[in-house]
Every structure is written in C-alpha cells, then in structure tokens.
Amino acid sequence: MAKLLRQVAVSLCGSLKDNAMKMKFYILTILAFSFFSCSTDKKQTIEDSNSMLKLYKRIDNQLYYWETWDKNEKSAIVHWGIVGQTGQNREVKSGLFSDFRKAVQKEIDEKLKEGYAEFDEDNYAFLDIEYKVDGFGTEKDLDKRHRLEEKMDEVLGWTGLGHTDG
C-alpha cells in the first residue's frame, strides 16, 4: 500500500529526490494496525443527508469494509470489498412507495449483526504528505496540492483505506 501511495504522490508532484519539491512520508500503518480496534457498542443509523458510515470486519486474516453515503435526496451509494482493493458498489434508489434510507438502514443492521463495526477514532493512523515550496507558494503550487489531495481522497476512499482531511 505504501508503494501505491508513493506512486500516486510521485505522479502528481514529480520526483521525490528533486530539491525543489521534497515529500516526507510518515506512514503510521494505514488500517492494518487496527484489525482489532472496532467497536460494536452503538447502533448506527444514517438519517442525515450526505451522511457517511464506514464499517469494517476481519474475516480469515483479511480486513473487509462496507460503507454507504447519500448520493442525493433520492439515492445512496453502498460500497464494499477487501481493504486495499476497489471492491464493488451499487446505488440504492427511492421508489414510488419506498425510501432508500430504510433499505440502507436494513443493510446497516444486517452488517452490524454480522460483526461489522466502525473503527475507534483513538486507533486511526495518519499519512502526512509534505513538499517544500518557496514562501507561501504560487497558484501552481496550490493547484498541485489540490490535485494531490483529490487523487489521494479517491485512492483512499475507493479502497476502504480512509480519506484526506485538508
């Protein structure tokens, strides 16, 4: 996984050996450190618009994820797979006599019964990506930062590994 993250960063920021743009990676093991840090103490619901729920479960020494988020007012996305892999996804839509949130909540309840749980926030790991710029940087530097952040969010999110936070 570290190799994949490095490849993404290098493709967007150039060579890590370049003096003008050095990246420092602090990888504190992404998710793999926490196979046992899930908690099933609370019943999870997804009632708020644009809410997201991520659940994890260890099966035969592999960590699986199951997540859902509102796509809009009439549908949600459900995404699942093995952590580190893209997995599968599908859209759950409201019908004439059905509410997508009820269907998604039913799936959440099933996953919780199967032993899926959220990660305990105390056990999160972080990856810091830094690169050197002169002064406050230029518009080009800011654009590069935004492209890197978007790509990392895409890679981490669609493989069940997390998300970027600024």
Order of all β-strands in the sheet with 88-93? 52-59, 62-72, 75-82, 88-93
Calculate mean pLDDT across residues 23-35.
34
Q: Is the pLDDT of residue 163 over 70?
A: yes
**What is the predicted pLDDT for the residue at 44?**
52
**What is the predicted pLDDT for the residue at 106?**
94
Q: Where are the domains of the chain?
A: 1-30+125-166, 37-122
Tell me the CATH number for domain 37-122: 2.20.140.10
Least confident of 17-26, 47-56, 107-116: 17-26
CA distances from 95 to 52, 92, 98, 100, 148 (A): 21, 10, 5, 8, 38
Q: Is the pLDDT of residue 6 over 70?
A: no
pLDDT band (50, 70, 90) for residue 7: low
Pair of tokens at residue 106: 């039913």
pLDDT band (50, 70, 90) for residue 135: confident
Contact (CB, 8 A) for 33 and 123: yes
pTM exceeding 0.75: no
**What is the predicted pLDDT for the residue at 29?**
33
Q: Is the pLDDT of residue 157 over 50?
A: yes
Contact (CB, 8 A) for 34 and 125: yes
Residue found by looking up tokens 């459900």 in the block? 78
pLDDT (tens digit, 9 = 90+) per residue, 79-103? Answer: 999 999 999 999 999 888 888 999 9
Q: Which of 155, 11, 8 is nearest to 84 (CA)?
A: 155
pLDDT band (50, 70, 90) for residue 125: confident
**CB neighbour list of residue 52: distance below 8 Å, 6 or more residues apart:** 46, 67, 68, 69, 70
Calculate mean pLDDT across residues 99-120.
93
